[in-house]
């Protein structure tokens, strides 16, 4: 069986296809959402999800989150005394989801379709694929999140041709994609986005309001545990706007309670800069697709952050229509990935659809441009495949020598949008020897071929000799051999993910320890006694006693956690 995975910045989900349609697979705590958080304890036990959240709250510095923003680069995250890249942390999340799927389905799962933001470049996409391989998957396909969401909404089953916009605001990234449907073809017309804009930024706005209200609180001097507590309360305050036009943010700092009531209008006003940042990718995608706002037939909201009334009001005003929210925005991408997985398996219940994608960044090379007679400017970027070109695609440009007796031509393969080569990402270089001659006499045809798996082939043909040189480019730091993947898998395999059969109990213990540290007085005595009783029940190894104690302990924790 091939499963579908939404590997999110804030939360991740896994789904599979049934006769009744796609279904979310619950995790080991019985929940649909698994926080994309990884933590480690002193014995090098790896925790994923809610367990990792509690571990990191209790032991700051033991966990990492929002690492999806750094997929494809070499930034290191420290978990206590060990360092990991974003793709390695993502592999732990994927491995946990794999175990949940296998437990739920009762069979081994080795293949997956994994979603990524549409605006992810080659390095990020390949890092995601490699994370899947490190987790033990054969990654059947990397699918763009908006395309997956469109599939989940069944837009590809519509009988009429239509243009629709997928507005995807998750915890850490923002994507806007314009798709067009005709017959059985679902074509991505344009994508744009911001890899550093998401729900976390809207939470940070509430933190800023809180510190403005209490200027005597010195944010710079606070320890990490206090800052995490404030951030958590800000997030709860943000969720409160879903039910009311006023929400309360209440924090306990050094045994003193700080509380502030925030009106929705004030919050919306404070988010003005972030909302303006959302406008730019929308304008850019419409421009690249060569369509107007009035041409859009439907707006689809995806991502947990689109539940915010601030976002929904903004989208409704901007597009002058009510967006479609019939599917839970948290689950749409995972459900779509599961349908795509079913398509890969050729399941009869799924209507086959041709999915097209686009190249999210411009691909080109570095050239010299003549400024005056005989004078040239170096380091100019020459696009060959423009961004939002439907892929797979192949484009050719001809280039000429610029100096007498020039012996070689250097092809610097670049990705980006700046007109200056130095500001774009270099994927590698080719140096091609050429016959010596006068300036402009020798020329080469440079052909870029870009496929659906984000692999770029560069072919250089010397016109005078017919000599052809080819090379495959996968981007800097984005390629590993099978042997390197196997070696890294072995290196990470000794780090054992916490056993799923004991995870719920461990989660409750960590949660209880965290509440104990946040409490004082009688409340602390109550939680201490409850922790002792629950540990005592666990030590009996009697399933009936443990289950009864667990329900009682969880009810107490829910009641105490609601206080702050």
β-strand 34-35 against 21-24: which pairing, if any? unpaired
Cα separation, 452 vs 454, in Å, equals 5
Helices and strands (DSSP H and E) totals, the chain: 14, 27
- CB within 8 Å of 232: residues ≥ 6 apart: 57
Asked if 144 and 357 touch (Cβ cutoff 8 Å), the reply is yes
Helices (DSSP H) in 244-381: which residue ranges?
264-270, 272-289, 309-319, 332-344
Could you write out the DSSP letters of every residue in 182-219?
ETTEEEEEEEEEETT-SHHHHHHHHHHHHHHH-TTS-G
Q: What are phi and psi of 16, to 5 degrees?
A: -140, 165
C-alpha 373 chain-centroid distance: 49
521-538 and 543-561 helices cross at what angle (nearest 10)?
Answer: 160
Sign of CA dihedral 72, 73, 74, 80: negative
Which residues is 413 bridged to in the sheet? 365, 428
C-alpha 39 chain-centroid distance: 19
β-strand 111-116 against 138-144: which pairing, if any? parallel
Asked if 295 and 285 touch (Cβ cutoff 8 Å), the reply is no
CA atoms within 13 A on the CB side of 450: 28
In the chain, the N- to C-terminal Cα span, in Å, equals 44
Helices (DSSP H) in 290-433: which residue ranges?
309-319, 332-344
Cα separation, 401 vs 438, in Å, equals 8
Sign of CA dihedral 404, 409, 411, 412: negative
Asked if 486 and 493 touch (Cβ cutoff 8 Å), the reply is no
Q: Is 453 exposed, middle or buried (0-12, 13-18, 19+ CB in 10 A)?
A: middle
C-alpha 349 chain-centroid distance: 29
3-state SS, residue 294: helix
Q: Is 282 exposed, middle or buried (0-12, 13-18, 19+ CB in 10 A)?
A: buried
Q: Which helix (H) or strand (E) holds 443?
A: strand 443-450
Cα separation, 353 vs 343, in Å, equals 8
Could you write out the DSSP letters of every residue in 421-457?
GGGSEEEEEEEEE----STTT-EEEEEEEE-TTS-EE
DSSP category for residue 421: G
Which amino acids are annotated catalytic? Answer: 6, 68, 145, 168
């Amino acid at each position: 069986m091939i499963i579908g995975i939404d590997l999110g910045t804030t939360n991740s989900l896994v789904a599979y296809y049934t006769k009744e349609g796609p279904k979310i697979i619950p995790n080991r705590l019985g929940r649909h959402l698994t926080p994309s958080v990884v933590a480690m304890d002193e014995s090098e036990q790896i925790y994923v999800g809610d367990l990792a959240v509690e571990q990191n709250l209790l032991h700051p510095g033991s966990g990492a989150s929002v690492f999806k923003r750094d997929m494809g680069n070499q930034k290191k995250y420290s978990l206590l005394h060990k360092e990991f890249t974003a793709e390695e942390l993502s592999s732990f999340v994927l491995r946990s989801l794999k175990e949940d799927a296998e437990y739920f389905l009762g069979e081994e799962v080795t293949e997956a379709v994994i979603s990524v933001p549409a605006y992810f470049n080659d390095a990020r996409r390949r890092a995601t694929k490699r994370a899947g391989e490190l987790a033990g998957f054969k990654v059947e396909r990397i699918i763009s999140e908006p395309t997956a969401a469109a599939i989940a909404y069944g837009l590809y089953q519509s009988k009429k041709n239509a243009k629709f916009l997928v507005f995807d605001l998750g915890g850490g990234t923002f994507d806007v994609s314009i798709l067009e449907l005709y017959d059985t073809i679902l074509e991505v017309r344009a994508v744009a986005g911001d890899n550093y804009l998401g729900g976390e930024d809207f939470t940070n706005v509430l933190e800023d309001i809180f510190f403005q209200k209490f200027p005597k609180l010195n944010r710079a001097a606070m320890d990490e545990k206090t800052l995490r507590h404030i951030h958590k309360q800000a997030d709860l305050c943000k969720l409160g706007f879903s039910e009311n036009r006023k929400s309360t943010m209440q924090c306990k700092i050094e045994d003193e309670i700080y509380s502030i009531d925030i009106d929705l209008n004030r919050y919306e006003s404070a988010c003005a800069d972030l909302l303006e940042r959302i406008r730019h990718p929308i304008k850019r995608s419409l421009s690249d697709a060569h369509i107007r706002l009035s041409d859009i037939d439907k707006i689809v909201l995806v991502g947990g952050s689109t539940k915010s009334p601030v976002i929904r009001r903004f989208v409704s005003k901007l597009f002058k229509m009510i967006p479609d929210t019939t599917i839970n925005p948290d689950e749409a991408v995972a459900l779509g990935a599961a349908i795509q997985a079913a398509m890969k398996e050729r399941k009869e219940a799924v209507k086959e659809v041709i999915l097209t994608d686009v190249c999210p960044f411009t691909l080109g090379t570095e050239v010299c441009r003549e400024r005056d007679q005989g004078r040239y400017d170096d380091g100019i970027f020459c696009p060959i495949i423009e961004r939002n070109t439907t892929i797979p695609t192949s484009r050719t440009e001809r280039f000429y020598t610029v100096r007498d007796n020039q012996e070689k031509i250097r092809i610097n393969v670049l990705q980006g949008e700046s007109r200056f080569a130095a500001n774009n990402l270099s994927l590698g270089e080719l140096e091609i020897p050429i016959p010596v001659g006068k300036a402009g006499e020798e020329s080469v045809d440079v052909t870029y071929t870009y496929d659906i798996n984000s692999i770029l082939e560069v072919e250089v043909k010397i016109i005078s000799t017919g000599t052809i040189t080819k090379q495959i480019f996968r981007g800097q730091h984005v390629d590993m051999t099978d042997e390197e993947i196997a070696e890294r898998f072995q290196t990470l395999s000794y780090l054992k993910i916490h056993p799923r059969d004991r995870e719920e109990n461990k989660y409750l213990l960590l949660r209880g320890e965290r509440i104990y540290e946040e409490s004082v007085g009688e409340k602390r005595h109550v939680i201490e006694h409850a922790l002792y009783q629950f540990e005592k029940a666990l030590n009996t190894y009697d399933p009936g006693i443990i289950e009864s104690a667990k329900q009682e302990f969880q009810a107490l924790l829910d009641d105490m956690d609601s206080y702050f």
